[in-house]
């Protein structure tokens, strides 16, 4: 069975909104969002991430028309393409956590919400932690895009 590679991408908006600017300021980063780039079953360049619309799958090119790529790291998954596609399809539609986003944007850790809702770093972190060689520590609600980059860069 063929294992799959994905690309973890850290991006920022070409015209960052207030929340994105706050995330970059408090996290001291040049990016505010993390996503997974992959080829879907039809070979289409796609993304898996969480936005204000919730956890979703989209097309890479239209998304990048309004975003800039800051970092990208290829990750080999320990699962097959079919398993990965099934996982992301099953995750699609989970709600987005505005409170959790506020926590990251302000650099505080006063709020967690378990598995009920997700933000971008929790969505990507779950794939890294469960299906790759990377093991993340701590509460997934407290994972940030910056933390994910530190983990994959230092392993």
Q: What token pair was written down for 17?
A: 């909104």
Taking the C-alpha atoms of residue 7 and residue 10, their distance in angstroms, rounded to an integer, is 10
Predicted confidence at residue 95, as pLDDT, reads 83
CATH numbers and ranges of domains, the chain: 3-153 (3.90.1720.10)
Q: What is the pLDDT of residue 47?
A: 98
The model's pLDDT over 13-72, given as tens digits with 9 standing for 90+, comes to 999 998 899 889 989 999 999 999 999 889 999 999 999 889 999 999 999 999 999 999
């Amino acid at each position: 069975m063929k294992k799959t590679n994905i690309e973890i991408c850290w991006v920022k908006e070409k015209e960052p909104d207030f929340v994105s600017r706050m995330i970059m300021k408090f996290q001291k980063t040049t990016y505010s969002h993390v996503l997974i780039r992959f080829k879907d079953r039809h070979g289409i360049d796609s993304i898996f991430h969480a936005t204000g619309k919730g956890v979703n799958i989209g097309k890479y090119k239209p998304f990048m028309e309004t975003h800039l790529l800051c970092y990208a790291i290829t990750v080999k998954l320990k699962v097959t393409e079919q398993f990965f596609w099934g996982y992301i399809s099953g995750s699609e539609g989970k709600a987005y956590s505005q409170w959790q986003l506020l926590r990251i944007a302000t650099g505080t850790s006063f709020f967690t919400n378990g598995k009920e809702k997700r933000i971008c770093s929790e969505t990507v972190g779950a794939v890294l932690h469960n299906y790759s060689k990377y093991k993340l520590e701590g509460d997934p609600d407290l994972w940030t895009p910056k933390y994910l980059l530190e983990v994959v860069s230092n392993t």
